[in-house]
Amino acid sequence: MRSPLAYTPRPGPLQAASPGAAVAYLGALVTVAFLYSSPLVLCGAGVAAVLAGRLASATRAVRAAVKLGLLIALPIVVVNALVVDRGATVVARLGEWPLLGPVEVTAEALADGAVFGLRALVAMVAFAVYSACVDPDRVLRALRPLAARSALTAALVSRLVPVAAADAARLRDAARLRGPGAAPVGKAPLARRLLAGSLDRAVDVAATLELRGYSLDHPRIRRATGGFSRPGRGELATRRSRFDRRFYATGATVLLIAIAGELLGADAFRAFPTIEVGLAPATLAVAALIALAGLAPLRRKPRCRSTPVATAPGARPLGAPGA
């Protein structure tokens, strides 16, 4: 069973782009999510991330990220509502709680927690699109000249996280197939088994890397002059793609729009003491433009060009009289 977050080679501009271009594009959306508090702008960034994933044929990854993001956002909203006692609109009075005292749930605290949860959801979707569309091996080759061990760690994380998710799905399926007469398996035993399997896999991966010489220094390359030298950045860097300019330009445009929106007051949202959501033209424009950034992975239809058929000297083309 393959995890939806695992990298799968697919044809498309985002998959063909270099890792730096993909990170610049998706990182700009995540930056907007942490820079703004306006729900409209956050929804625009979320729409852009979802649209980018669907256009890049990573729909399964987007769905899994949305489910996981909602599971993360819901506890954030609940905890924020229980801990924060500010706000003028009381929704529920839950009485005295140990260590918390009198607990009053306000609409403003719920709205404030929803903003934090929405940020986590946007970041989760963007990471899922990155995990499903960016080749970890290309990331390793691009970062190895700068920080070899950090690049290896990042590549292993991007590889092993989908594997751990697939292991969790297999364990849940195995627990369901035990039959109705078997004792139900709780989440704690499944988590312990998943942790034990992950530790065993980590030991095996470490031993394999040591046997393959990853702890040694970079190999030296023999030059035409007969000397030896270390490989340069250009020799280990990944090849560039014709789609790189598109994603670099889109990421830079998103950041410029976000900065300009902050200067124009587009981030008009306040949760306390009462909820105030700004609907100014600048806010709507920033949200719409950021949402349109999700169209960057759109594939353009190639133009059909008629190419002349090469013929031998003195030969007549097909369809000509006497051919």
Identity of the highest mean pLDDT range in 4-13, 40-49, 128-137, 306-315: 40-49
Report CA torsion sign: 306, 309, 315, 317: negative
Give how far Cα 24 sits from Cα of 61, 107, 138, 156, 210, Å: 20, 36, 15, 21, 33
Cβ–Cβ < 8 Å for 270, 276: yes
Q: Are 288 and 41 in contact (CB under 8 A)?
A: no
pLDDT band of residue 229 (cuts 50, 70, 90) is very low
The fraction of the chain above a pLDDT of 90, given in percent, is 38
pLDDT surpassing 90 at residue 219:
no
Residue-level pLDDT at 52: 95
The CA angle 277-283-289, to the nearest 5 degrees, is 140
Q: What is the mean pLDDT of residues 303-318?
A: 53
Q: How far apart are CA 297 and CA 13, in angstroms?
A: 6
Name the residue with tokens 């920033």.
286
Out of 135-144, 153-162, 303-312, give the one with best mean pLDDT.
135-144
Spatial neighbors of 128 by CB under 8 A, at least 6 apart, are 4, 5, 53, 58, 61, 62, 64, 65
Q: What is the mean pLDDT of residues 90-115?
A: 87
List alpha helices for the chain, DSSP H. Answer: 13-16, 19-35, 39-55, 59-83, 107-133, 136-143, 148-176, 187-211, 233-236, 244-263, 281-292
pTM over 0.75: no
Instruction: Tell whether omega for the bond before 13 is within 30 degrees of 0, i.e. cis.
Output: no
- pLDDT at residue 308 in the model: 52
Q: What are phi and psi of 221, to 5 degrees?
A: -110, 135
pLDDT at 259 over 80: yes
Q: How many CB atoms lie within 10 A of CB 298?
A: 14
Closest CA to 287 of 8, 81, 36: 36
The ranges assigned to domains in the chain are 13-217+240-295
From first CA to last CA, the distance across the chain in angstroms is 58
What letters, b where the CB count within 10 A reaches 16 and e where it falls short, cover 106-121? Answer: bbbbbbbbbbbbbbbb
The whole-chain average pLDDT of the chain stands at 81
CA atoms within 13 A on the CB side of 24: 17
| Amino acid sitting at position 45 | A
- At residue 227, the pLDDT reads 45
- What confidence tens digit (pLDDT) does each residue in 262-297 have? 999 898 888 888 888 888 899 999 999 999 999 999
Contacts of 164 (CB under 8 A, 6+ apart): 194, 198
Distance, in Å, from the CA atom of 210 to the CA atom of 226, rounded to the nearest integer, reads 30
Q: What is the dihedral of CA 52, 57, 60, 66, to 10 degrees?
A: 0
Question: Distance (Å, rounded) from C-alpha 37 to C-alpha 116?
Answer: 8
Q: Indicate the pLDDT class of residue 223, thresholds 50, 70 and 90.
A: very low
